[in-house]
A and B are shown apart, each in its own frame.
Chain A
Amino acid sequence: MNRIIRIPDLELSYLLGVILGILILGTGIAALLRRRRPSDALDKIWQRAISWWWMTLPIIACVLLQDWFAVLFLAWLSYASTREFFSIAPVRGADRLALLIAYGSIPVQYGIAYQGRLLPLLGFIPLVIYATISYTLVLRQETQGIGRSMALIPGMIMLCVFYLSHAAALFPLAASLTPPASGIKLLMFLFLITEMNDVFQFFSGKLFGRHKILPIVSPNKTWEGFIGGIVLSTGFGAAMSFLLPLQAWQGAVVSACLAVAGFMGDTIISAIKRDLQIKDTGDIIPGHGGLLDRLDSLFLTAPAYYYLLNAFLGLL
């Protein structure tokens, strides 16, 4: 067996075809609309479309390389999003050591996730890291604002590291089944449904949006967008369920739940941005803003997906 490159089988080839098809279709529509009637809004959508191609590169690399690449990539996403959050959050000079410990938790958590044992996966960050970070702050004896730091740092580690690391735990989950399933297919289903749900929500909201769903937190989100996202994601998930060791209807149920979880992740980050009075969390991805802006949905869909799969496979 090759340790570096993965030769895609028929299903993974379909998947790559679907991804490239969506990208070409989306970019084509954006290009066509922009040529017909140029506007600032369409320029922004065009910029987003171009960025999607760049963001798809590591995804395709995950498919064409062995599992280690996907796990490293997920760990880096956790790391870079944590880093981005610390740069916008009101952290104090006295928090520096605690922040370094937070970064240090990432390789350990991903090592645990890749081993696939549920107890350490669930326990390490809430039990060990939470206590360590809190007590590092205590030892520094800088009590002004310590409560906020004790909430802020572990809270963000929960989202960016603890939750997201469940995506890496899909690999051992797939390997433990009889007959073994493919971890990369499970992961790709998660990526695909999460990102497409964002897109479905965006366009349903743009086309049919009337009633605001969370006017203070996220003024652009509507009930129509939310429900449109669920409906379209459910259909899309059923169509893509050839990637899962499940029935099509089970894939549809999983996708509906992911649509709701994705919406929650999205609006959690939105609420934090409102509090910090910023529009984007960074400028790493042109047209999309920061990594947190892009990954917000994935933070919540990853654990929801992991446990739903476990439940449907009779492992919980």
Chain B
Amino acid sequence: MIRRLLLVLLYPLLGRVFLGLVVGVRCTGRKSLRQHRQFVLAGNHNSHLDSVALLAYMPLGMAGQVHPVAAADYFGGNGLKSRLYQWLVNVVLISREAGRREETIGRMIQLLDQGKSLIMFPEGSRGEADVMQSFKKGIGYLAAARPQVPVIPVYIDGFGKILPKGEKLLLPMPARVYIGEPVRLSSTDPAGITREIEAAVIALKPAAAGGAA
């Protein structure tokens, strides 16, 4: 209860004010989040700030119900830092190892069945600023297993400049978060679904949409 209150205070309230006035982030398309009780958010990944910022833009009532999915090999362990990260950012840890796909997807399906929502970065790592890597197929397996949960694409523009990979200094810069409509999936196989989700994320990119809105 206290943790939930803290998460509400921290993300939707303080987080949005901080991101808007101090960092200079603007978010468009939040309406599509409010229309669904549960979703899987799929976005491009450039910065540790990505999951924190997306948590801030989640609907107020969903505080504590949205879990960013993070790599166990990076954020795992019992150190204070990773404990704090799990407690404050509400992450679930999964394995990035190729041989343990069943177990990893199973864990995420379990969370969806409990009514939780997930934030996923299917690129698998943050990579270089503004260069998108191809999506890993895990999200395709998940969407194929639970087709009733909408997958909402999100494109994050400019966070690679605010807090790039390997940099400790957070530097405020204008950035944008574009949240799209749920992806209409026509494929049924995980590889095809993954490609469709990837295309939906790329389509939100301002250049692809014919210039910034």
| Contact in complex: B169, A87 (CB < 8 Å) | no
Docked CA distance A100–B163 (Å): 13
Nearest-Cβ distance from residue B168 to partner chain A, whole angstroms = 10
Question: Taking beta carbons and an 8 Å cutoff, which residues of B are in contact with A?
Answer: 21, 24, 26, 158, 161, 164, 167, 169, 171-174, 212-213
Docked CA distance A186–B172 (Å): 32
| Contact in complex: A83, B172 (CB < 8 Å) | yes
Question: Inside 8 A of A99's CB, which chain B residues have their CB?
Answer: 171
Q: Chain B: interface secondary structure?
A: loop
- Are A76 and B21 CB-contacts (below 8 A) given A84-B174, A87-B174? yes
Docked CA distance A48–B171 (Å): 31
Question: Inside 8 A of B164's CB, which chain A residues have their CB?
Answer: 93
Residues 68-79 of A, flagged 1 when their CB comes within 8 A of B and 0 if not, give: 000000001000
- Are A100 and B212 CB-contacts (below 8 A) given A87-B174, A284-B174? no
Question: Inside 8 A of B213's CB, which chain A residues have their CB?
Answer: 283
| Contact in complex: A96, B171 (CB < 8 Å) | yes
- Are A283 and B173 CB-contacts (below 8 A) given A76-B21, A87-B161, A96-B167? no
- Is A111 on the interface with B (CB-CB < 8 A)? no
Give chain A interface residues in 274-314, CB to chain B under 8 Å. Answer: 282-284
Question: Inside 8 A of B21's CB, which chain A residues have their CB?
Answer: 76
Question: Taking beta carbons and an 8 Å cutoff, which residues of A are in contact with B?
Answer: 76, 80, 83-84, 86-87, 93, 96-97, 99-100, 103, 282-284
Docked CA distance A284–B164 (Å): 23
Nearest CB to that of A283 among chain B residues?
B212
List the 10 closest A-B pairs by CB distance, nearest first.
Answer: A87-B174, A87-B173, A96-B169, A83-B24, A96-B171, A83-B172, A283-B212, A99-B171, A84-B174, A282-B174
A-B contact pairs, 25 of them (CB 8 A): A80-B24, A83-B24, A83-B172, A83-B173, A83-B174, A84-B24, A84-B174, A86-B171, A86-B173, A87-B24, A87-B158, A87-B161, A93-B167, A96-B167, A96-B169, A96-B171, A97-B169, A99-B171, A100-B169, A100-B171, A103-B172, A283-B212, A283-B213, A284-B26, A284-B174
Nearest CB to that of B22 among chain A residues?
A79
Nearest-Cβ distance from residue B27 to partner chain A, whole angstroms = 13
Question: Inside 8 A of A80's CB, which chain B residues have their CB?
Answer: 24
